[in-house]
């Protein structure tokens, strides 16, 4: 992706004369690059080692955990029994399925509604659109705790507790403020003349939206969807509140209760379960990292 090429600043060589005088790398340059290497290695070890340790741990047996030093490598590199235990006894398969069933429909709803609203708020001309945008923005600030209890009462009265619907509905709504905000920003960067030309050529507003607006912000929609995916997939608060049965739990709630189920002592399956949870996001990040980084920082108002 083009983002990879973001021109990292080239700090010019210390001073031109410096270079010409000393052809071979002078000692202070060598020292400098050793320092750079060491510092880079230090940063990477801090970030990467815990994850490596996690994967190594998922391959160890219980006795290895208790008897071998914590830095030891696993005795067998093909011991995947922990993963089997995590998925079968730990119910991780069910939890992952619930997550998928809750996350993707809400993602689709949020994006669909949010993109249309962003278009109406930024491209179309009407009184009160500034206020409406502010109203949506205010939603970014409101902590989830403020809406939890009334929602619980509502879902209870309507009688949809005990299904995944509370999750889908809540996620769709909670994602809206950020989606609307980001989409409005993206539409703002599209030259107005394009939409005006389309209407002059006789396109009605829906044609302008579907044939002109959407294709222009297609990339942005994908970025927003990606950001929202991580927020919803990693959510704990909503999922914890509205999943009142074990077979409704999302992967995060399931993982939280995992240690309870096996007790803190059953290390192998716990490590394997954490690994499985991490791998999902890792896989996405592996392919789309530049876009994720761009999108996440663009959505940083969410904090």
For position 45 contacting other proteins by CB under 8 A, the verdict is no
Which residue is it, tokens 């010409």? 20
Other CB atoms within 10 A of residue 101 CB: 15
Nearest-angstrom CA–CA distance, 196 and 294: 29
Sites for other proteins among residues 261-280 (CB under 8 A): 265, 267, 270-271, 274, 277-278
CA angle 130, 134, 137 (to 5 degrees): 140
Select from 96, 113, 190, 216 the one that contacts other proteins (CB under 8 A): 113
Nearest-angstrom CA–CA distance, 173 and 166: 11
Region near other proteins per CB under 8 A, out of 18-26, 81-89, 153-161, 215-223: 153-161
Select from 177, 181, 228, 262 the one that contacts other proteins (CB under 8 A): 177
- List the one residue out of 86, 89, 63, 84 whose CA is nearest residue 75: 63
- Closest to other proteins by CB, 55 vs 101, is 55
One character per residue 243-262, x = contact with other proteins (rule: CB under 8 A): --------xx--xx-xx---
State in angstroms the smallest separation of the CB of 87 from other proteins.
Answer: 16
For position 236 contacting other proteins by CB under 8 A, the verdict is yes
Which residue is it, tokens 């696993």? 74
Nearest-angstrom CA–CA distance, 278 and 103: 16
Q: Which two tokens stand for residue 43?
A: 């940063």
For position 282 contacting other proteins by CB under 8 A, the verdict is yes
Angle of helix 165-188 relative to helix 129-141, nearest 10 degrees, comes to 130
> How far apart are the two ends of the chain, measured CA to CA in Å?
26
For position 61 contacting other proteins by CB under 8 A, the verdict is no
For position 126 contacting other proteins by CB under 8 A, the verdict is yes
State in angstroms the smallest separation of the CB of 210 from other proteins.
Answer: 11
Nearest-angstrom CA–CA distance, 86 and 59: 12
For position 169 contacting other proteins by CB under 8 A, the verdict is yes
One character per residue 79-108, x = contact with other proteins (rule: CB under 8 A): ------------------------------
For position 69 contacting other proteins by CB under 8 A, the verdict is yes
Helix (H), strand (E) at residue 114: helix 92-122
Select from 82, 91, 172, 223 the one that contacts other proteins (CB under 8 A): 172
Q: How many positions of this chain bind other proteins (CB under 8 A)? A: 112
Select from 30, 38, 39, 108 the one that contacts other proteins (CB under 8 A): 39
Nearest-angstrom CA–CA distance, 131 and 301: 18
State in angstroms the smallest separation of the CB of 232 from other proteins.
Answer: 11
Yes or no: say if 196 and 268 are a contact pair by the CB < 8 Å rule: no
Select from 104, 162, 230, 261 the one that contacts other proteins (CB under 8 A): 230
């Amino acid at each position: 992706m083009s983002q990879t090429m973001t021109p990292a600043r080239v700090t010019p060589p210390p001073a031109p004369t410096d270079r010409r005088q000393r052809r071979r790398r002078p000692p202070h340059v060598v020292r400098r690059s050793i320092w750079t290497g060491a510092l880079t290695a230090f940063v990477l070890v801090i970030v990467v080692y815990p994850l490596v340790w996690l994967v190594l741990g998922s391959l160890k047996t219980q006795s290895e955990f208790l008897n071998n030093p914590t830095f030891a490598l696993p005795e067998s590199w093909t011991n995947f029994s922990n993963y089997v235990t995590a998925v079968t006894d730990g119910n991780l398969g069910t939890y992952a399925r619930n997550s998928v069933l809750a996350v993707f429909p809400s993602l689709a709803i949020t994006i669909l509604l949010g993109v249309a609203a962003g278009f109406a708020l930024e491209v179309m001309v009407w009184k009160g659109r500034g206020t409406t945008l502010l109203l949506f923005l205010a939603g970014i600030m409101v902590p989830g705790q403020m809406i939890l209890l009334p929602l619980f009462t509502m879902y209870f009265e309507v009688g949809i507790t005990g299904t995944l619907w509370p999750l889908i509905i809540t996620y769709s709504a909670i994602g809206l403020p950020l989606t609307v905000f980001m989409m409005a920003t993206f539409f703002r960067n599209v030259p107005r003349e394009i939409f005006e030309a389309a209407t002059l050529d006789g396109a009605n507003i829906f044609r302008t939206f579907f044939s002109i607006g959407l294709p222009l912000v297609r990339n942005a929609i994908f970025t927003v969807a990606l950001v929202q995916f991580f927020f919803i997939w990693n959510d704990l608060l909503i999922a914890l509140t509205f999943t009142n049965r074990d077979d409704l739990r999302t992967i995060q709630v399931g993982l939280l209760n995992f240690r309870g189920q096996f007790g803190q002592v059953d290390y192998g399956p716990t490590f394997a379960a954490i690994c499985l949870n991490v791998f999902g996001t890792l896989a996405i990040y592996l392919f789309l990292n530049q876009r994720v980084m761009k999108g996440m920082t663009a959505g940083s108002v969410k904090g």
